Amino acid sequence: MYTTLQLAKPSLPVLLVLLLNACGVRDGAPDRYGRNWDEIPDAIPKKVKQSKYGNPASYEVFGKTYYVLDSSEGFKQKGDASWYGTKFHGRRTSSGETYNMYAMTAAHKTLPIPCYVEVKNLNNGRKAVVRVNDRGPFHDGRIIDLSYAAATKLGVAATGTAPVQIRVVTKGYIDERNGQGTDKDYVTDDGKLYIQIAAFGTEENAMEMIEDLRSKNFRSARIHVDNNNGKLLYRVRIGPVPTSNVAEKVLAQLKEINLNNAKIIRYN
């Protein structure tokens, strides 16, 4: 599936090395995975510099030349998604990072890396945001290769491949160098209804509330990151919910467990 890439322009100083095939070793899922698909958080987009590795002008795999895009802005694509797991776990990706099948990452043939992409499974409507940090998949018709965690969230791990639509996420970037955000919140479901419960100054406190809510069967609780004059706020929200009627019912359930400050919001 993956191989060492040959640069189309050997004089380039960057040597792009992908995950090597391990002869006799089959790829697959881990023996145990403790999260349900709806418990897996999206990757949070951060404004980062392009990787020193993995972004040559062009490279060659199996006799075919691929040209890396100068910019990911506005990029959209439809095709099939696949996934990779245990065979490559712990190995080096094209960006120089270590592949972690439990992280929300993905491989793409031509997008500059790293970048962030929203993936929608066209069979079941599930969405996920992933960090593209690797190259592939080098199979006709496949446009993105998902980590095991991302494939689980999208329902692709169960089917092997699935038709998807992808789009680059630039909204809600948080600049990891100075903490400055470029938009109010990182939310991919624009215009949807949410129930906002609380806001915390640390991700740890927000995660504690998330775990408590999920233990009480509020399975769609999520953290939304908000930048307030350079200070990150971790807002705990439930949703998106389909209608105002459903939102009111969820709000009533929250008040039954003394979460009286919860309120319905619409993200536009």
Q: What is 7-48 written as a DSSP string?
A: ESSTT-S-----PPP-TT------S-----GGGPPPP--EE-
What pLDDT, on a 0 to 100 scale, did the predictor assign at position 177? 35
For the chain, how many structural domains are there in total?
A: 2
Residues 147 and 223 in one domain: no
- Average confidence score pLDDT of the chain: 79
Residues 163 and 180 in one domain: no
What pLDDT, on a 0 to 100 scale, did the predictor assign at position 46? 79
Q: Is the pTM of this model over 0.75?
A: no
Least reliable range by pLDDT among 61-65, 92-96, 138-142, 245-249: 245-249
- pLDDT of 7 over the 70 cut: no
What pLDDT, on a 0 to 100 scale, did the predictor assign at position 107? 96
* Token pair belonging to 111: 């997008």
SS3 state of residue 195: strand
**Within a domain: residue 1?**
no
Single out the residue in 168, 201, 217 at which a domain terminates: 168
CB atoms within 10 A of CB 13: 7
What pLDDT, on a 0 to 100 scale, did the predictor assign at position 116? 94
Residues 75 and 98 in one domain: yes
Of 134, 145, 136, 52, nearest in space to 94 by CA: 134
What pLDDT, on a 0 to 100 scale, did the predictor assign at position 228? 66
pLDDT digits (tens, 9 = 90+) for 22-40: 334 577 778 777 678 888 8
C-alpha 111/C-alpha 17 separation (Å) is 16
pLDDT digits (tens, 9 = 90+) for 124-167: 999 999 999 999 999 888 999 999 999 999 999 999 999 999 99
What pLDDT, on a 0 to 100 scale, did the predictor assign at position 136? 94
Residues 41 and 117 in one domain: yes
**Within a domain: residue 185?**
yes
